[in-house]
Structure 1
Amino acid sequence: MTVTRTVAAIVVAGLAALAAIGDAVAQAGRVPYAFAYIGLDSDPLYRPGRAYTGLTLRDANRPLDGAAMALRESRIVGRSLGLSLELIEAMVDDVSDVVAAMES
């Protein structure tokens, strides 16, 4: 067998295994899987930067939008694996409130 055929055989076997796992999980029902984003309201990293001649020299965006987009793009794969993906957002005032936000 050539290298190309060997690689193709491995890919087909892997896809068949993933399909079998996905079917088994789908029959068992959807498994909820939650991602949590906990941020500090007073985080100095995301404070708006100083503007120089009207230009903002620093982008102060939280990574929450990127996490939401990644979950939207992963929903099809998650559905095929029987997962229900969810993003939970919590903003806290102080570091001491992080544990309470995680437990809720």
Structure 2
Amino acid sequence: MNQTASHSQTPEFDTNKSQTTSVLFQPPKPEEIRLSFWSKAKPVLKEFAAIALIGITVASTVLTVRSCSNDVDRQHAQALKHQLQFSASNEGAR
């Protein structure tokens, strides 16, 4: 009669061990660690494309301005030549 009755409904476990430690952290698999060539090359190609686009824009602007400047100089020289041609012929006719 030395036994005591247990009125608790909670189960008893052998050890006090956490059941979530294996779920919280799992080491990455080798295929997750190793990156493919395209996943490494994609950011590099994007940066190269952006730099190339900026370079092409700047170069085309400079070349366009230079071309227009040369065209204006050529037209100015032709206009002076044309004026001198007619001014010389008018001087002789007077």
Q: TM-score of the superposition, structure 1-length normalised?
A: 0.27
Q: Relative to total residues, which structure has the larger helix share, 1 or 2? A: 2
Larger Rg belongs to: 2
Which structure's residues are more often strand, by fraction? 1
Structure with the larger RCO, 1 or 2 (CA within 8 Å, 6+ apart): 1
TM-score in terms of structure 2 length: 0.30
